[in-house]
């Protein structure tokens, strides 16, 4: 591997990082947060160079863009992570065996976490804060669209770590503190090397579209947690509240169209199809293109919805990441559930209804990481869940599921104490 030396340095640094106290880690996180604000113009200049290479009409443009407000939010999230209880050293099981052996299961870092992500420069800071707080080193592999922004971000983190290193003698002999976070080249070759870094990278988390996630899962020789790809549905039931529904649908679809929790398909009960024009009023103001099935097309065309097209089979089960929305008409809750079973991705699903029995059936049946009742799927987010920040949203079932933060990027080990016992 061309990057073997890089991976070796990160692995060595991870061993020392686990020895820092929680207060030491918190102090560094707060210092990085201060440095983000202090270097705001430097970060925005780099981001502007990235933005200049992308068409503003590209749905990824919004994800790529950093602003002064977004940097303030990133710094605030990092400070919030520093206030959270440490996820390390928690005793999750403890017992004494009949032979006198004392067993204790305690939470520990994974070691080195590899992160592959696309046009999301905020992820650089989010991943660092969560990994550092949880005692993990991280290897970052960003996309070429955000390379300038990512490189400046990591450079600023390194500057803080270098200043702090003099205070931590445990890093002086075998590793450098700044090696706990490394940004790889924005090349396909670097991705391949990370995915084959057996013995160096303990866990890989891809964060991006379906194509990226499928490639990582099918290629990696190291453990992978799938995240991100979200085909999101919301079912407006026959007992749905119209005013509530209007707000939920608009927020879920248009708050940020390029994120994985954005709404892709509105499922509506046939008995409430007359509510569609009102539900879609705010969508029209945002220029949302609607791909409507035959029944909903007839209703919306009769009310002159300005951005209306006929749905095709490809309209359903598609993660649009754009100002686009599919509409499916159903005659029952069972039909809505069947549509979600066939077209959902296990990310986030929602129901709008005032009927509690219907809502409970929906929540019990839907197989997704997050299932909402009378709330928009836009809340699927680590910070919104009170986790401080998130490293990704897992759509798999083995291991973490849903927004992943500090607890989800730790593992455990057994500590066994004896007094000379031997096994018969």
3-state secondary structure of 362: helix
Residue 31 scores a pLDDT above 60: yes
Confidence of residue 173 (pLDDT cuts 50, 70, 90): very low
The predicted model gives 319-347 an average pLDDT of 96
107 alpha-carbon distance from chain centroid: 22
Q: What is the mean pLDDT of the chain?
A: 93
Could you read off the pLDDT of 154-172 as tens digits, one per residue? 999 999 999 988 776 655 4
Model confidence, pTM: 0.87
Residue 373 scores a pLDDT above 60: yes
In percent, the amount of the chain with pLDDT more than 70 equals: 98
CA torsion 284-286-290-296 (nearest 10°) is -30
Residue 352 scores a pLDDT above 80: yes
In degrees and rounded to multiples of 5, residue 119 shows phi and psi of: -80, 60
Q: What element of type H or E holds 151?
A: helix 147-165
Q: Is the distance from CB of 95 to CB of 103 less than 8 angstroms?
A: yes
Distance CA 25, CA 388 (A): 15
Q: Is the distance from CB of 222 to CB of 195 less than 8 angstroms?
A: yes
Per DSSP, the residues of 160-185 read: HHHHHHTT-GGGTTT--GGGGEEE--
Could you read off the pLDDT of 190-247 as tens digits, one per residue? 999 999 999 999 999 998 777 888 899 899 999 999 886 789 999 999 999 999 999 9
Sign of the four-CA dihedral 372, 376, 380, 381: negative
If you ran DSSP here, which 8-state letter would residue 16 be given?
A: H
Distances (CA, A) of 167 to 137, 170, 242, 244, 372: 19, 9, 60, 54, 47
pLDDT of residue 228: 65
Q: What element of type H or E holds 64?
A: helix 60-64
């Amino acid at each position: 591997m061309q990057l073997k030396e890089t991976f070796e340095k990160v692995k060595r640094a991870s061993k020392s990082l686990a020895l820092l106290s929680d207060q030491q880690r918190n102090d560094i996180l707060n210092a990085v947060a201060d440095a983000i604000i202090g270097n705001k113009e430097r970060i925005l200049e780099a981001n502007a160079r990235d933005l200049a290479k992308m068409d503003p009409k590209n749905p990824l443009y919004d994800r790529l863009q950093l602003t002064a407000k977004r940097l303030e939010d990133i710094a605030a999230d990092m400070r919030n992570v520093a206030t959270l209880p440490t996820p390390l050293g928690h005793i999750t099981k403890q017992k004494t065996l009949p032979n006198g052996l004392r067993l204790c299961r305690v939470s520990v870092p994974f070691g080195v976490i590899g992160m592959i992500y696309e046009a999301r420069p905020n992820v650089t800071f989010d991943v660092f804060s969560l990994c550092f707080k949880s005692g993990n080193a991280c290897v970052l592999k960003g996309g070429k669209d955000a390379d300038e922004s990512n490189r400046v971000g990591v450079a600023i983190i390194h500057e803080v770590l270098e200043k702090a290193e003099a205070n931590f003698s445990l890093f002086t002999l075998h590793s450098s503190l700044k090696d706990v976070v490394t940004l790889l080249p924005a090349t396909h070759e670097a991705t391949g090397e990370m995915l084959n870094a057996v013995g160096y990278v303990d866990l890989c988390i891809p964060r991006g579209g379906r194509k990226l996630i499928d490639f990582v899962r099918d290629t990696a020789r190291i453990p992978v947690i799938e995240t991100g790809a979200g085909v999101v549905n919301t079912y407006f039931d026959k007992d749905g509240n119209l005013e509530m529904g209007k707000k939920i649908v608009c927020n879920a679809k248009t708050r940020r169209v390029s994120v994985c929790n954005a709404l892709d398909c509105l499922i509506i009960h046939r008995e409430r199809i007359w509510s569609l024009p009102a539900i879609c009023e705010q969508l029209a103001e945002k220029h949302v293109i609607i791909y409507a099935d035959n029944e909903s097309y007839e209703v919306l065309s009769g009310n002159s919805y300005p951005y209306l097209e006929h749905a095709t089979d490809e309209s359903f089960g598609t993660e649009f990441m754009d100002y686009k929305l599919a509409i499916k008409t159903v005659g029952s809750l069972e039909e809505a559930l069947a549509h979600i079973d066939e077209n959902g991705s296990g990310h986030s699903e929602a129901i709008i209804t005032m009927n509690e029995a219907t809502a409970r059936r929906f929540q019990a049946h839907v197989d997704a990481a997050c299932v909402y009742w009378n709330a928009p799927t836009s809340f699927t987010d680590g910070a919104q869940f009170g986790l401080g920040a998130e490293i990704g949203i897992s759509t798999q079932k083995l291991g973490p599921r849903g927004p992943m933060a500090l607890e989800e990027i730790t593992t455990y080990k057994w500590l066994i104490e004896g007094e000379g016992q031997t096994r018969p």
